[in-house]
Amino acid sequence: MSEPDVVVVGGGPGGVVLALLLARAGVPVTLLESHQDFDRDFRGDSLHPYTLELLDDLGLADALLRLPHHPARYFRFHTPTTSITTADYGKLRTRFNYVALMPQARFLDFLATEAARLPAFTLRLGAKVTGLVEEDGVVTGVRYRDKQGEQTLSARLVVGADGRFSKTRKLSGLPAHSLGASSDLLWFRLPRHPADPPEADVDLYFGRDQYVGLLGGTDDWQVGCTLPKGGYPAARDAGVAPIRDFVARRVPWLADRVHELREFSQTTLLSVDIARVDRWHRPGLLLIGDAAHVISPVGGNGILMAIQDAVATANRLVPALRDHGTVDPAVLAAIQAEREPAIDVVQAQQTRIERRIARSRERGKPLTPPGFLRWITALPGVRARAAKANAYGPRPPRLDLPLFTADQVTAG
């Protein structure tokens, strides 16, 4: 096996997009994914307009959107007495004026298939990273285990894109510190019926001590119920009956199918966290996405931030490797400096929300959206501005498209 210039650890959105971009630029890259495929039940299924525009620049959006997906136009809050539309993506001035809700496994399969057409791309499935190779304090590769046994792979740079429980981060000695989260989420699926409200897309339904999050799909609904942080054991002991009752009360049009949640094994716990690493890099190593900064599910920003990290990283790595054949630590520091302000903004917003939820629980008050939202979202342009802020995030990087020209795209 030839040695790549870059090893990307982790086949999530950030890792796969980065590997695809590097391969399009002709940079030899190997993507290591610990699982045997991408077919797992992800909760992050939202592809924002930024992501769709990026893929359109690469000539891939049309093919991707031929796959089944749900175009979500609205983001709404619901209380027992009112409903508030906070964002209307249909008002965006873009061809992609919606959030495409698509199973993440389908999205990753699509990208990996496109990347496999490029001679510079190699995918290793079932490759579990076990160690970093270092020389004089510089990371020069990784050790991993697959069905052939222990393997070693050298590279000019190792990128850890392996998520919130990043093995690469643990091995690197770059610790993450939590910024605080007061809730966890319990996810499950309920079938979609033809008579379901056509405007339901991404909705939050608030109750007294918890809320229900709803994500639309082509065949079903993803339903997320909040739990107090650490409340999973108590919820498991109580069984699914309280969950069914809460969903039926808060989302009455789902009451006719909540009985299909029969066992607790049908649920998946998403332990919510907001955390960051102070320094995302060491000589020869870079962390991106949740490996560098864990994003809460609130707002569905995790995938967007990881993909934007990948774009910023590719923009800087390609010239460095083409011009110098190596990646100076200053390049890695520049990637963090470019992306960190946006991450700070997103995490600060999420931390404020978590603190508000915690205060409401402590005071025994109902969980509700801020009271001013009803009147402020009625003002002209507010829903469009909110949609734009969520669709692109703060300080979105733009792909340096000439670096990733189509003449690199040849069958491997």
DSSP class of 119 = T
Which among 207-211, 256-260, 300-304 has the top mean pLDDT? 256-260
Domain span at residue 126 reads: 6-70+99-179+273-362+396-408
Dist CA 110 CA 9 (whole Å):
18
Both 172 and 188 in one domain: the answer is: no
Cα separation values, 128 from 79, 104, 151, Å: 45, 21, 10
pTM (two decimals): 0.93
Both 262 and 294 in one domain: the answer is: no
Cβ(163)–Cβ(295) under 8 Å?
A: no
Least confident of 21-25, 199-203, 244-248, 284-288: 199-203
pLDDT in the model for residue 183: 80
Residue at a domain's end among 204, 238, 270: 270
Biggest alpha carbon–alpha carbon distance for the chain: 64
Half-sphere exposure of 47 (CA within 13 A, CB side): 27
369 pLDDT band, cuts 50/70/90, is low
Both 14 and 147 in one domain: the answer is: yes
Domain total in the chain: 2
Both 192 and 328 in one domain: the answer is: no
pLDDT in the model for residue 410: 47
Segment 241-268 mean pLDDT: 94
Q: What angle do CA 236, 237, 243 make, to 5 degrees?
A: 55
Half-sphere exposure of 411 (CA within 13 A, CB side): 0
**Residue 84 covered by a domain:** no
Q: What angle do CA 107, 71, 405 make, to 5 degrees?
A: 50
- pLDDT of residue 6 exceeding 60: yes
- Mean pLDDT over each residue of the chain, to the nearest integer: 90
pLDDT in the model for residue 64: 98
Both 16 and 51 in one domain: the answer is: yes
pLDDT in the model for residue 411: 40
Both 302 and 352 in one domain: the answer is: yes
Both 201 and 349 in one domain: the answer is: no
73 pLDDT band, cuts 50/70/90, is very high
Write out pLDDT tens, residues 105-163.
999 999 999 999 999 999 999 999 999 999 999 999 999 999 999 999 999 999 999 99
Write out pLDDT tens, residues 197-222.
988 888 888 877 778 889 888 889 99
For the chain, the C-alpha Rg in angstroms (whole number) is 22
Both 161 and 62 in one domain: the answer is: yes
Segment 80-85 mean pLDDT: 83
314 pLDDT band, cuts 50/70/90, is very high
CB neighbourhood size of 23 (10 A): 28
Least confident of 19-23, 25-29, 232-236, 378-382: 378-382
Instruction: Give the pairing type, strands 128-135 and 138-146.
Output: antiparallel
Both 157 and 109 in one domain: the answer is: yes
* Between 224 and 30, the higher pLDDT residue: 30
- Report the number of secondary-structure helices (H) and strands (E) in the chain: 11, 22
